[in-house]
Amino acid sequence: MRRHIAEAIARDPEKFAHHDRIFKNNPVVMQGMGLAPLVVLATSGKNAVMLAVAVALLLTPSRMLACLLSRLCPLRDERPEPEELEKKLLPRAFVYSGSAAVVYLAAYPILNMLFGTDLLTMGVYLPMLVVEPLLTYRFGRVQESMHKAVSKGLRVTLGYALLLLILGCVREWLAFGTVFGVELSRSILPMASMPAGGFIVLGVVCAVWRALARKQREYLKNEARGYLAVHPQSQESGKEEKE
């Protein structure tokens, strides 16, 4: 473990974990974003892959476009005055949802080329991604930089895609006994292919995920404190030797 990472963990472990959008602060598991596509559409590994590709083509590009356009009506403070919110929230909401819609129009031909008529299984939930909080929640937050938009967009995409694939494969196995069409066993829970079953499976997956994330946070915190206890003055001694 590097010293600057150990110091960041020891100083504020929650803030350090907050930046990990893949595992420790996954937007679905920790904040409940993007539930509808997961519960309704992620019924198989194939559906999960289609949805993951759609999110990958939409999330980061739309966030980048919205970051540029929202500079016309930026929010500068974390807790802006009510008057400023009243003036800027509606225009920013249109900017973020409009940016997602524009990117969707460009992404759909690519999705159609990749998956063809299989996209019809996505139904209305595919175009509804343009108003999914996963893509638009930033409209009420402080203005972000382009670097942050790209970085967070990629991390959120990876975290969401990972959960999609896990949930899709688990539901397919439980409902049909297959994974990506390869037969593994008999059907265990046929209702896993239904939205009600999706909620149950997602709840179990999230519970296990949160428990593992909590254990990893505790492990990293103890490791960081142990590292700093063993090497308390390595940085200062290095400076003295240079002098």
The amino acid sitting at 235 is Q
Residues 166, 85: Cα–Cα separation, whole Å: 39
pLDDT at position 243 is 47
- Helix/strand/coil percentages in the chain, nearest 5: 80, 0, 20
Closest CA to 65 of 158, 144, 160: 144
Residue appearing with tokens 């539930």: 35
pTM here is 0.83
**What's the confidence (pLDDT) of residue 173?**
94
> Quick one: which of 16, 31, 18 has its CA closest to 163?
31
CA gap 164, 27 in Å, rounded: 12
Taking the chain (243 residues) in runs of 10, the rounded mean pLDDT of each run is 71 74 83 86 92 93 89 74 75 87 93 91 87 79 83 90 93 93 89 91 92 86 77 53 44
What is the reported pLDDT for 222?
A: 80
Give the tokens for residue 221. Answer: 């915190």
Q: Which distant-in-sequence residues (6+ apart) come within 8 Å of 109 by Cβ?
A: none
What does the alpha-carbon distance between residue 48 and residue 41 come to, in Å, rounded to a whole number? 7
